Amino acid sequence: MAFYLNCNTHFFFKFSLLFSLLSFSFSQSDVVEAPSPAADSCNGIFLSYAYSSGTKLKPTDPTHQPYRFESVLTVLNNGDEELKSWKVSVEFQNDEFLVSASNAVLADGTSLPANVGNGTVFAGFPMSDLKTAIETAGDLTQMQVQVKLLGTQFGVAAPDVPLPKNIQLANDGFICPKASMQGKNEMQVCCRKDPKFKANVTIDEEFLPRQSGDLTIMYDVTRTYDSNYWAQVTISNHNPLGRLDNWKLSFDWMRDEFIYTMKGAYPYVVDSSDCIFGTQGQHYRDLDFANVLNCERRPTIIDLPPTKANDTTLGLIPNCCRNGTILPPSMDPSKSSSVFQMQVFKMPPDLNRSELSPPQNWKINGSLNPDYKCGPPVRVSPSQFPDPSGLPSNTTAVASWQVVCNITHPKGASPKCCVSFSSYYNDSVVPCRTCACGCPSNTARTCSTTAPAVLLPPEALLFPFENRTAMAQAWADLKHRTVPNPMPCGDNCGVSINWHVLTDYSRGWSARITIFNWDETAFPDWFAAVQMDEVTRGFQKMYSFNGSALELNGVNNTIIMQGLPGLNYIVGETDGANPKKDPRVPGKQQTVVSFTKKNTPGINVAAGDGFPSKVFFNGEECALPSVLPTNNSNREGSTTILSIFLAVFVFIMLHQ
């Protein structure tokens, strides 16, 4: 009898333990906790941020001690309209490092773990839309989402609580007061609709309207099956000065998807090992993974060369295969987009035709191009494509998502190009700034990263920076100037542009532009642009480039230029005629631009109106000198400047 009781007791204990574990798992993932009582008084979008727990972490550091934190961000729709693609801004303030977040992704496309110490915006995933109580009869599982956050924060030890400065809804059309405290561990806010906001979408529309941005990416599902689907990805450039060269596109698969095959582009790494040794290999036992292109959770996609455009296996996709070059629409609309297709295999429990989930955390970059920050994919109305058979009808995508990317200027990021100034009335060149494009950390003993750049003779622009020291010192001696010791470091820019004021007379003036490519990478279909606030209305003509005035944001102050046929390619840096003694030779392009004073009376070219306020090369803003050439020097330097112009002109003509 005792043995029988012991067996039953043991069985009951095991059953109770199993039941407790299952209940804990269920409560963590499937049960939506009831909202705070304060939510009852909110007739809008109720937000709360509650600190749950935290512990001290190693290593011990009195000045910068790390602590683990766990918090819950709650978003509840108590309004009368569905909240589509919800986004919440959390102003972290304790140098937080976020390790994981359930039911959300970072809206700027950053993958976790990530540093969010300066604040971040969360976007809903997989539940991006929150319905109302009216249309769900108060079903919290459709009205509310709870984001469980896990991360590390620094310096806030118990009993203090590491809360953010503020939380607010980041969707357009809402007004949020500053969040209020509920006890010591929770902050709350009720966001209401802005009565002055005019939405461009009605309540009855199923999808959000498409947004504008510097760059947009469309993820269109064109064919779908139970276990896989075909998606077409279209990258479109909308910025008149934005550009991508050798673009690389990356994103995160969130549900263990993998890429089986592609057309119009290719993975940067072809590898199926993650599938073979993962759950994908266990599920797709009969699939030949030797033909699978990529199984990485975060793949990187690159464009194909033009030679693959008509390849029956990899190409035959309109607007594909351009070596990753996407031009601005102001330069060539036919080359302002890039398209590829990929076959994506899904994993359980998504094995049906209608279960479609786009990848998240999109990022795109290029070489010597602006930095882009991309938002989350937003479900939009299905795209339409011309019928491939040529019939006068359109084919509609099964489902479409839009990713909007905008040019950003990250704090502390260095430019990739720089500008030097010179003029006919001063025989010295104001070179690019010291370390304009950054300096290596190991140069402090050989050059100064803080000393200002020294004035140069014009011919020094034709030589690499490491070959200019003797010329700079000799020029300083000739002009009775002192030079710093150690000498300033170089600009370390791959591209430098010289703007030279060439002439100035009663009816007009002219400038000469010389572009130097100090990198080994050539620039096909290059373009440059200058912003000149006072004189753009007087622009007349460029003689070796194709130049035109461009209106940006309603202001006509920009001149965009590109090489004429035969001059639209800047070669990379090459060896001199005698590599043992001659310095390396940069790729060069040069033109003269003329202006009239008829439309710009009162300008003073020598006082600064003849120099640009911003210069761009291939969409990247270049660093400018901190000073302008002065007009108190003798004008004999114009002869030297002219000789440099002729030398560059002859060099270009000989290398056509």
Residue type for 256, please?
D
CB 477 within 8 A of CB 465: no
pLDDT the model gives residue 414? 86
pLDDT the model gives residue 3? 41
C-alpha 36, offset from chain centre: 38
* pLDDT higher than 50, residue 30: no
* pLDDT higher than 90, residue 93: yes
CB 335 within 8 A of CB 326: yes
CA nearest 583: which of 480, 476, 435, 459?
459
Per-residue pLDDT tens over the stretch 237-260: 999 999 999 999 999 999 999 999
∠ CA 459-461-467, nearest 5°, is 90
Per-residue pLDDT band at 14 (split at 50, 70, 90)? very low
Which helix (H) or strand (E) segment holds residue 229: the answer is: strand 228-237
Per-residue pLDDT tens over the stretch 142-179: 999 999 999 999 999 989 999 999 999 999 999 999 99
Instruction: Say whether 222 sits in a helix, a strand or coil.
Output: strand
Per-residue pLDDT tens over the stretch 472-522: 999 999 999 999 988 999 999 999 999 999 999 999 999 999 999 999 888
Give the CA distances from residue 47 to residues 44, 139, 163, 179, in Å, rounded to whole numbers and listed in that order: 10, 17, 14, 9
CB 283 within 8 A of CB 405: no
CB 230 within 8 A of CB 252: no
Q: How many CB atoms lie within 10 A of CB 117?
A: 15
Total-model pTM = 0.84
CB 258 within 8 A of CB 345: yes
∠ CA 138-207-39, nearest 5°, is 30
CB burial readout 74-92, b (16+ within 10 A) else e: bbbbbbeebbbbbbbbbbb
Q: How many CB atoms lie within 10 A of CB 428?
A: 22
* pLDDT higher than 80, residue 382: yes
Residue type for 237, please?
N
* pLDDT higher than 90, residue 201: no
Q: To the nearest 5 percent, what fractions of the chain are helix, strand and coil?
A: 15, 35, 50
Average pLDDT of span 295-317: 96
Q: How many CB atoms lie within 10 A of CB 587?
A: 23
CB 426 within 8 A of CB 631: yes
Phi/psi at 582 (5° precision): -90, 140
Per-residue pLDDT tens over the stretch 440-476: 776 556 888 889 999 999 999 999 988 898 899 999 9
Per-residue pLDDT band at 331 (split at 50, 70, 90)? confident
Q: What is the spatial distance between Cα 179 and Cα 165, in angstroms, rounded to a whole number?
A: 9
Per-residue pLDDT band at 386 (split at 50, 70, 90)? confident
Greatest mean pLDDT range, 203-207, 214-218, 629-633:
214-218
Per-residue pLDDT tens over the stretch 396-443: 999 999 999 999 987 778 899 999 999 999 999 999 999 999 987 765
pLDDT the model gives residue 589? 94
Instruction: Say whether 538 sits in a helix, a strand or coil.
Output: helix
Average pLDDT over the chain, rounded to an integer: 88
Greatest mean pLDDT range, 33-37, 139-143, 567-571:
139-143
Q: What is the spatial distance between Cα 453 and Cα 490, in angstroms, rounded to a whole number?
A: 8
Per-residue pLDDT tens over the stretch 530-558: 999 889 999 999 999 999 998 888 888 99
Q: What is the spatial distance between Cα 389 and Cα 465, in angstroms, rounded to a whole number?
A: 57
CA nearest 188: which of 28, 27, 76?
76
Phi/psi at 255 (5° precision): -135, 35
Q: What is the spatial distance between Cα 455 and Cα 579, in angstroms, rounded to a whole number?
A: 27
Residues contacting residue 492 through CB under 8 Å, at least 6 positions apart: 435, 436, 437, 438, 439, 440
Phi/psi at 3 (5° precision): -65, -40
DSSP code per residue over 279-338: HHHHH-TTS-GGG--B--SS-EEEEPPGGGTT-TTT---TT--STT-B--TTT-GGGSEE
C-alpha 276, offset from chain centre: 33
Share of the chain above pLDDT 70, in %: 89
Which helix (H) or strand (E) segment holds residue 645: the answer is: helix 637-654
Q: What is the spatial distance between Cα 125 and Cα 32, in angstroms, rounded to a whole number?
A: 16
Q: How many CB atoms lie within 10 A of CB 142?
A: 19
Q: What is the spatial distance between Cα 237 and Cα 234, in angstroms, rounded to a whole number?
A: 10
Joined tokens for residue 165:
């400065």
Bridge-partner residues for 481, per DSSP? none
Q: What is the spatial distance between Cα 623 and Cα 439, in angstroms, rounded to a whole number?
A: 14
pLDDT the model gives residue 384? 93
Q: What is the spatial distance between Cα 103 and Cα 98, in angstroms, rounded to a whole number?
A: 14
| Complete domains list, the chain, with CATH | 37-193 (2.60.40.290), 215-408 (2.60.40.290), 417-438+446-631 (2.60.40.290)
CB 179 within 8 A of CB 186: no
DSSP code per residue over 336-379: SEEEEEEEEE--TT--STT-----EEEEEE-SS--EEEE---EE
The residue behind tokens 């699978």 is 292
pLDDT the model gives residue 15? 41
Give the CA distances from residue 569 to residues 266, 307, 319, 325, 370, in Å, rounded to whole numbers and listed in that order: 26, 19, 21, 13, 20
Residues contacting residue 232 through CB under 8 Å, at least 6 positions apart: 218, 219, 220, 222, 339, 340, 341, 385, 397
